[in-house]
Amino acid sequence: MTKRIIFILLAVFWGLGLQAQTVEKDGTYYYDAIPVTFDIGKMIFTDVRDTRKVPPWYNSFIYMPKGSSHYQKTQGNAVFYRMEIPASGNVIVHNWNSRMGFSSLFVYRLLSELQPDSDVNIEEVEIFEEGDFMSPDFDPEKLGIPEGASHGLAYIHLKNLPAGTYFIITAGYKYMNGSVPNGELGITIIADLSPGIPDEPEILPEEPDNSPVCYQYDQSGNRIKTNKK
């Protein structure tokens, strides 16, 4: 009887431990960022979160706009993703699978692992902020935006991104009448990672040239055969 009780208790504790290891992340902050893990090759991750609903409790994201020394809050609630890539490669991030009109994207590299009660040590990689879709260099049609998706949704192409851990943060915003800052905010991450640079082939020493003939070329590109002395 005692052994049976001990077995039941162990089973309960094991089940609780397993549940604790598989708790789903909601993306409300850095420590709650939704995990995105890629392997070598080409892989795609998609997700949609409704930033209007509670719980979870999404909030605005505070960031520093390009060319500014002052912090700013996003209009809409932000969703946090934590991306792990084992090798360098090209990564595309966009919000084209959203049911919203306008969005922003922020990509930061994690410089040191998160620690309780300490600042988040990150550096900016790229941002697509409010109004960037108006840039003359941004052409969503050429980038392959699907029919029906808003041209105000963010898009970032990260070329030759080094291996490491990155936070990708996205939020919506109100740009014109009829648009809303919160709603069904989708994200698509496309990673094409290289397996690494292969080792250089072994270079063997050159063998002596014992050929009795060598070739020379004149200024017009005509070949002249000359015998070696």
pLDDT in tens, 86-104: 999 999 999 999 999 999 9
Q: What is the pLDDT of residues 158-209, one digit of tens each?
A: 999 999 999 999 999 999 888 999 999 999 999 999 886 555 555 555 555 5
3-state SS, residue 153:
coil
Give the model's pLDDT for residue 177. Answer: 86
Report the pLDDT averaged over residues 53-80.
Answer: 96
CA angle in degrees (0–180, nearest 5) for 83-86-88:
95
Q: What fold does the segment set 23-193 form as a domain?
A: Jelly Rolls (2.60.120)
Which helix (H) or strand (E) segment holds residue 140: the answer is: helix 140-143
Phi-psi region of 207 (alpha: psi -120 to 50; beta: other; left: phi over 0): beta
- Phi, psi torsion values for 149, nearest 5 degrees: -80, 145
Q: Domain residue spans in the chain?
A: 23-193
